[in-house]
Amino acid sequence: QLHGADALVVMSVEKSEGKASEFMFAYCAGKPIIVVGNHDLNIFYHLDKVTLVNTIQEAIDALHRSVCP
């Protein structure tokens, strides 16, 4: 459940409207968001407080920084 999640990790490998809905729910709820992969598929990926990374390992490192400071 996204509502109970501590953060959202988006695997951005192809365009998907479902991911956009979940992304905006998490963003409006103030949850940390990490986008892995292609950062150009959704303009909202470039909002403030969204972490853009290229690899899953970078996402894991970012999760540790944002969820477990």
Mean pLDDT within 29-57 = 94
Q: What is the pLDDT of residue 67?
A: 67
Q: What is the mean pLDDT of the chain?
A: 89
The string of pLDDT tens digits covering residues 27-36 is 999 999 999 9
The pLDDT confidence band at residue 14, using thresholds 50, 70 and 90, is: confident
The pTM score is 0.87
Nearest Cα neighbor of 57 from 36, 43, 26, 27 is 36
**Other C-beta atoms within 10 Å of 14: how many?**
9
Mean pLDDT within 30-45 = 92
